[in-house]
Amino acid sequence: MASKAPTVCDGTANVDAKSSEIDKELTISVITEADTEDVLDLLKRFFFKDEPLNTYVQLGECKELEKYCTKSLGEHSSYKAVNSRGEIVGVILNGTIMKPQPGDEPPEKLATNCAHPKFRKIMALMDHVDEQFDIFELYPDIDRFLDCKILSVDTNYRGMGIAGMLTDRTLEYASQNDIKLIHVLCSSHFSARVMEKMDFTEVFRLPYADYLVDGEQVFDPEKPHVALRILTKRLDH
């Protein structure tokens, strides 16, 4: 098992390798629009297949998820872990969400115009969570937050703390941009573990066994992924 305590120094992390093919030198840097194809390549090889809900529905190709993943890259608030061969081995994709103002049209439900039947099921779950949990009600003094939308690490590089390094860089971005709250919706037990290790607090939990549509359980991912959880971290407390 690889060391779980890599050292990070000026954007370069020395990670004990699991095998000789895995680079020890990783650089964490900002993602720009020029990285779009490489980011999608990583996500299609891993996230589209191994995020617990995607695995459960056997998502396959999904242009709608590609669009969701890439739409905030222009904010330059997302980060990549790159090995010495220049390959992206992990990403955190973030986007800023503003508090709705009085008189704003209610946002359209995510599932409404989703043409991909499997992805629509996942979007309907997100709509359900939105109905159950209002972050701006929980934090009335907050007018925007940074949403960590996607977290994905190459399977060969897991368990080394790379997701934590990407989250650390995200926290740095937030504090430099006067964003006081980070929000992560964790469909995976492992991403929730990452956030717990970084002192995030759980503010919402929906066991998959309790999400029923027409009386039927919709998602039953493999253990240990038993619940969808929202974790947050305030930077001003």
Ligand X SMILES: CC(C)(COP(=O)(O)OP(=O)(O)OC[C@H]1O[C@@H](n2cnc3c(N)ncnc32)[C@H](O)[C@@H]1OP(=O)(O)O)[C@@H](O)C(=O)NCCC(=O)NCCS
For ligand X, the closer of residues 124 and 143 by Cβ is 124
Residue 50 binding ligand X, by CB under 6 A: yes
Cα gap 8→14, rounded to integer Å: 7
Backbone φ, ψ for residue 187 (5° rounding): -85, -15
**Angle, in degrees to the nearest 10, between helices 63-70 and 36-45:** 130
**Binding of ligand X by 161 (CB under 6 A):** yes
User: Minimum distance from CB of 102 to ligand X (Å)?
Assistant: 32
- Comparing CB distances to ligand X, the nearer of 45 and 99 is 45
Stretch that binds ligand X, among 22-30, 70-78, 149-157, 208-216 (CB under 6 A): 149-157
Sole window of 22-30, 46-54, 126-134, 206-214 interacting with ligand X (rule: CB under 6 A): 46-54
190 binding ligand X? (CB under 6 A): yes
187 binds ligand X (CB under 6 A): yes
Residue 118 and residue 62 in contact, taking contact as beta carbons nearer than 8 Å: yes
Question: Could you please report the per-residue DSSP string of 53-81?
Answer: HHHHHT----HHHHHHHHTTGGGS--EEE
The angle at the Cα of 45, spanning 43 to 48, to the nearest 5 degrees, equals 55
Cβ 141 to ligand X shortest distance, Å:
27
Whether omega before 224 lies within 30 degrees of 0, making that bond cis, reads yes
Interface residue list for ligand X (CB under 6 A): 4, 46-47, 50-52, 151-153, 158-164, 186-188, 190-191, 193-194
